[in-house]
Amino acid sequence: MTDRISLALVGIGKIARDQHIPSVAAGADFDLKAAVSRHGKVEGIENHEDFDAFLASRPAIRAVSLCTPPEVRFDMARKAIAAGHDVLMEKPPATTLGEAEALAELAAKAGVTLFATWHSRFALGVEPAKTWLAGRAIRSISIVWKEDVRRWHPGQAWIWEPGGFGVFDPGINALSILTAIVPGRILVENARLSFPANRRQPIAAEIAMRTFSGAPIVAEFDWRQEGPQTWDITVQTDQSTLRLSSGGAELFIDGIEKSAGPDREYAGIYERFATLIRARESDVDFQPLRLVADAFLCGERLEVEAFED
Amino acid sequence: MTDRISLALVGIGKIARDQHIPSVAAGADFDLKAAVSRHGKVEGIENHEDFDAFLASRPAIRAVSLCTPPEVRFDMARKAIAAGHDVLMEKPPATTLGEAEALAELAAKAGVTLFATWHSRFALGVEPAKTWLAGRAIRSISIVWKEDVRRWHPGQAWIWEPGGFGVFDPGINALSILTAIVPGRILVENARLSFPANRRQPIAAEIAMRTFSGAPIVAEFDWRQEGPQTWDITVQTDQSTLRLSSGGAELFIDGIEKSAGPDREYAGIYERFATLIRARESDVDFQPLRLVADAFLCGERLEVEAFED
């Protein structure tokens, strides 16, 4: 058996408690030694309030997992890399492409592992979907990602601020699956972004893209969906229809369920992080963030009804 | 003497006539063999109306220079690369980062030269400014890029469309100089983009950036400047002040003119293109476009007075 890798978790909020802590505890790869958070605490391990003080006092902790909101992630990642730690970053990796690419360069120079995670890529149906699609001719792709922001992001003001990306916060999950299962680059053709009159980020978006071989892709993101929630990707090939439902958890081929089971997204993330650390490699794929940036860059802006939480 | 490189010019509009044709004619590197344009014609050489027909009929022409508006450039560049030509692209290289990066990959695979030009980088003061700044400690940078859109883009509807980038069309020239003279990555911190009520692209923008070592950079772009036009970059070091004026043509150190002379931007572009072709290399630096995409991605949007041409 391999030794467990010592780990510190930074940013003890909802996603850390719901996903990171239980996944680390259930896995065999990491030993959670410390938590760093201005407000949250984790029982039974050492807790630090200040990130700089943590870095100075605990250089022997090998890996650092950053679960804070994106706007503070760049500075923390930069400092953790400079201190020689291996670093895992929640999605999105940064608030700009420039920051993301700078971190990848710094990690490469420092010889540490950097893992820019996209949790939806570890949903159960994604890997079999990728395998099934390999070598098949894609005719068209439709993405429908519609959820109720009041239900999933209650009171989270940062999602409406610059760097929060609005409806692209969930939408980037769909784009992370899309870029994982479709071979070759995806290109943005145009986009329509709907901004509530009182908000700085879009509440809905339609993005027209294409695969590198020219198959059309249409994505509809909407945060105003009440009732049933939809996170579906449908790929039409020349013979069949592949559908990923429930954010990638369920895979159907021509309507027949091929893959389903309990959620293992964050278990998969930490297994991959351990593999990367042991191989001294990084995984820094910024394609999903680049697609969002390109949608903002070439997108048409519409003003829609004000949104109140 | 080296043989001249056979060249076709694609897109015979204002920039081709004002800059490309005279620069190629005055230089010693290229032999202009053909023009490709749906509307424009060049006297004394063969003219093609259709790009695909040109590619099919004249495979022996080695280099292709694309001076069309950005929205058609990707498809033309892709086809020219696939046909084995060396390709020069006017700025901006594409309407999205995804397209730009895809072209760089295609050119590398095909073993042809791709040159994503930024003409302002060839302004007379830029190279000496870069040399002077190397090794000096930068304290702050101010960019003021204010011009009258009615004077410089009369009736050019594409600048207000997605992919036209609005005031970033001139602004990206400043960003191309900035990224050439400052060592290390530039990061966007935030931005305010002013959209006229009746237009899809910004007419003004303020962008807060920083150098990789943390020095603040403020850029003001405005297309509503009547009277004197301003294209200035001022760099404060710990000892002195460097100023590039007139879009990089004039360099001043502490108010004393160090470099000035007749415009050679496009002469410099074609000399560099010839050097790249002979060395079998590419020059594909998309940093200026990435800064624009990051400004759109994290920027706050303001609505301002409608703009009529």
Residue of A nearest to B184 (CA): A102
DSSP bridge pairs for A193:
A205, A301
Residue A256, CB half-sphere, CA atoms under 13 Å: how many? 4
Calpha distance A4→A86 (Å, rounded) = 14
Judge contact between B35 and B45, C-beta under 8 A: yes
Please state, rounded to an integer, the average pLDDT across all residues of chain B: 95
Contacts of residue A73 in chain B, CB cutoff 8 Å?
none
- Look at residue B56 in the predicted model and tell me its pLDDT: 97
Tell me whether B167 touches chain A (CB under 8 Å). Answer: no
- The predicted-structure confidence for A167-201, as pLDDT tens digits, reads as follows 999 999 999 999 999 999 999 999 999 999 999 99
Confidence (pLDDT) at B162:
79
Contacts of B298 in chain A (CB under 8 A): 95-96, 162-163
Residue B6 has pLDDT above 90, yes or no: yes
Instruction: Tell me what the pLDDT averaged over chain A comes to.
Output: 95
**Shortest CB distance from B301 goes to which of A97, A195, A293?**
A195
Looking at chain B, which residue has its C-alpha nearest residue A98?
B187
Residue of A nearest to B100 (CA): A187
Q: Do A292 and B297 touch (CB under 8 A)?
A: yes
Residue of A nearest to B287 (CA): A98
8 Å CB contact of B96 and A292: no
Comparing CA positions, the residue from A182, A274, A164, A258 lying closest to residue A219 is A182
Q: Given this model, what pLDDT does residue A309 score?
A: 84
B21-27 average pLDDT score: 97
- Whether the ω angle into residue A262 lies within 30 degrees of 0, i.e. cis, is no
B contacts of A162 (beta carbons < 8 Å): 190-191, 298-300
Q: Is the pLDDT of residue B1 over 70?
A: no
- pLDDT one-digit tens code per residue, A99-123: 999 999 999 999 999 999 999 999 9
In the chain, the amino acid numbered A191 is A
Listed by number, the residues of chain A in 111-140 with a beta carbon closer than 8 Å to a beta carbon of chain B are none
pLDDT grade for B69, boundaries at 50, 70 and 90: confident
* CA trace torsion A273, A274, A277, A283 (10° rounding): -20
CB A303 within 8 A of CB A195: yes
| Spatial separation of the C-alpha atoms in residues A11 and A9, rounded to whole Å | 7
ipTM of the complex: 0.94
Facing A212 at nearest CB: one of B102, B185, B297: B102
What are the tokens at B308?
Answer: 């009529």
Contact yes or no for A297 and B298 at CB 8 A: no
Q: Which pLDDT belongs to residue A145? A: 98
Q: Residue A244's closest CA among A264, A226, A224, A258? A: A258
Q: How sure is the predictor about A154, in pLDDT bands with cuts at 50, 70 and 90?
A: confident
Structure token pair of residue A183: 């071979």
What is the spatial distance between Cα B13 and Cα A13, in angstroms, rounded to a whole number?
57
In A, which residues are within 8 Å of B212 by CB distance? Answer: 102
pLDDT band at A1 (very low <50, low <70, confident <90, very high): low
Tens digit of each residue's pLDDT (9 = 90 or more) over A31-47: 999 999 998 999 999 99
Query: Which residue is closest to A214 within chain B, CA to CA?
Result: B75
Burial grade of B137 (CB within 10 A; 0-12, 13-18, 19 or more): exposed
Q: Positive or negative, the Cα torsion across B43, B45, B51, B52?
A: positive
B274 CB-near residues (< 8 Å, 6+ apart): B5, B27, B29, B30
Matching fold, domains A5-116 and A120-261+293-304 = no
- Indicate the pLDDT class of residue A50, thresholds 50, 70 and 90: very high
Closest CA–CA distance from residue B210 to any residue of chain A (Å): 11
Q: Tell me whether B162 touches chain A (CB under 8 Å).
A: yes
Helix, strand and coil percent figures for chain B, each rounded to 5:
35, 30, 35
Nearest-CB residue to A294 (from B96, B185, B300)? B96
Task: Report whether pLDDT(A211) > 90.
Answer: yes
Average pLDDT over residues B91-97: 94
Whether B102 sits inside 8 A of A200 (CB atoms) is no
- Told to judge if B91 belongs to the known catalytic residues of this protein, a careful annotator would answer yes
User: CB–CB of A98 and B291 under 8 A?
Assistant: yes
pLDDT at B249 over 70: yes
Domain B5-116 has CATH 3.40.50.720: yes
DSSP characters for A38-59?
SS---TTSEEES-HHHHHHH-T
Q: Report the gap between the CA of B142 and the closest CA in chain A (Å).
A: 20
Closest-approach residue (CA) in chain B for A209: B98
Terminal Cα-to-Cα distance of chain B (whole angstroms): 50
| Nearest CA-CA partner of B31 in B57, B56, B2 | B2
* Whole-number Å distance between alpha carbons of A59 and A52: 11
> Measured over all CA atoms, what is the biggest interatomic distance in chain B, rounded to whole angstroms?
59
Q: Report the 10 Å Cβ neighbour count for A185.
A: 18
Q: Going by C-beta distance under 8 Å and a sequence separation of 6 or more, which residues neighbour residue A89?
A: A66, A73, A77, A103, A114, A115, A116, A117
Instruction: List chain B residues with CB under 8 Å of A106.
Output: none
Give contacts of B293 with chain A, Cβ < 8 Å. Answer: 97, 290, 293-294, 296-297
**Amino acid letter for position B143:** I
Q: In DSSP terms, which residues pair with A237 in a beta bridge?
A: A138
Put simply, the answer to whether B162 touches A298 (Cβ < 8 Å) is yes
Taking the C-alpha atoms of residue B179 and residue B10, their distance in angstroms, rounded to an integer, is: 28
Q: Which chain A residues are Cβ-neighbours of B301 within 8 angstroms?
A: 195, 200, 301
The answer, yes or no, to whether residue B285 has pLDDT greater than 80, is yes
pLDDT for the residue B70: 84
Token pair in block for residue A161 = 């601020």
How far is A184 from A187, CA to CA, in rounded Å?
Answer: 10
CA distances from A188 to A211, A219, B226 (A): 9, 11, 36
Residue from A13, A306, A62, A296 nearest A171 by CA: A296
Distance from the Cα of A180 to chain B's closest Cα (Å) equals: 16
Which of A 189-248 lie inside 8 A of B, CB atoms? 190-191, 195, 200, 212
| Residue B210 · residue B187 · CB < 8 Å | yes
Among the listed residues B33, B91, B109, B146, the single catalytic one is B91
Cβ–Cβ gap B293/A297 under 8 Å:
yes
- Please tell me what DSSP assigns to residue B233: E
Q: Could you give the percent of chain A with pLDDT greater than 70? A: 99
Tokens of B85: 């030509």
State the Rg of chain A over Cα: 20
A contact residues 3-42, partner B, Cβ 8 Å cutoff: none
In the chain, the amino acid numbered A247 is G
**Chain-chain contact of B292 with A294 (C-beta, under 8 angstroms):** no
Q: Where are the domains of chain A?
A: 5-116, 120-261+293-304
Rounded distance between C-alpha atoms, residue B302 and residue B140, angstroms? 26
pLDDT at B208 over 80: yes
Chain B residues with CB inside 8 Å of A185's CB? 98, 101-102, 105
Dihedral over alpha carbons B23, B25, B28, B34 (to 10 degrees): 110
pLDDT, residue B156, reads 84
Which of A301, A121, A146, A141 shows the shortest CA–CA distance to A208?
Answer: A141
A199/chain B closest Cα distance in angstroms? 10
The secondary element (H helix, E strand) that includes residue A24 is helix A21-26
Q: What amino acid positions of A are annotated as catalytic residues?
A: 91
Closest CB from A165, A200, A293 relative to B293:
A293
Q: Is A100 exposed, middle or buried (0-12, 13-18, 19+ CB in 10 A)?
A: buried
Closest Cβ–Cβ partner in A101, A162, A188 for B299: A162
A106 touches chain B (CB under 8 A): no
Q: Which of B117, B90, B124, B169 is nearest to B262 (CA)?
A: B124
CB distance A96–B299 less than 8 Å?
A: no
Q: Is the pLDDT of residue A212 over 90?
A: yes
Phi, psi dihedral angles at A257 (to 5 degrees): -65, 130
pLDDT in tens, B123-139: 999 999 999 999 899 99
Say yes or no to pLDDT of A260 above 90: no
- Provide the number of CB pairs (under 8 Å) joining chain A to chain B: 86
Q: What is the pLDDT of residues A60-83, one digit of tens each?
A: 999 999 999 888 899 999 999 999
Cβ distance A101 to B294 less than 8 Å, yes or no, reads no
- Classified by CATH at the fold level, domain B120-261+293-304 comes out as Dihydrodipicolinate Reductase; domain 2 (3.30.360)
Model confidence pLDDT, tens digit, residues B75-91: 999 999 999 999 999 99
- Answer whether residue A261 shows pLDDT above 80: no
| Residue contact B96–A187, C-beta within 8 A | yes
* Closest C-alpha to A53, from A74, A79, A29, A27: A79
In three-state secondary structure terms, B239 is coil
- Tell me the average pLDDT across B206-233: 97
- By residue count, chain A amounts to 309
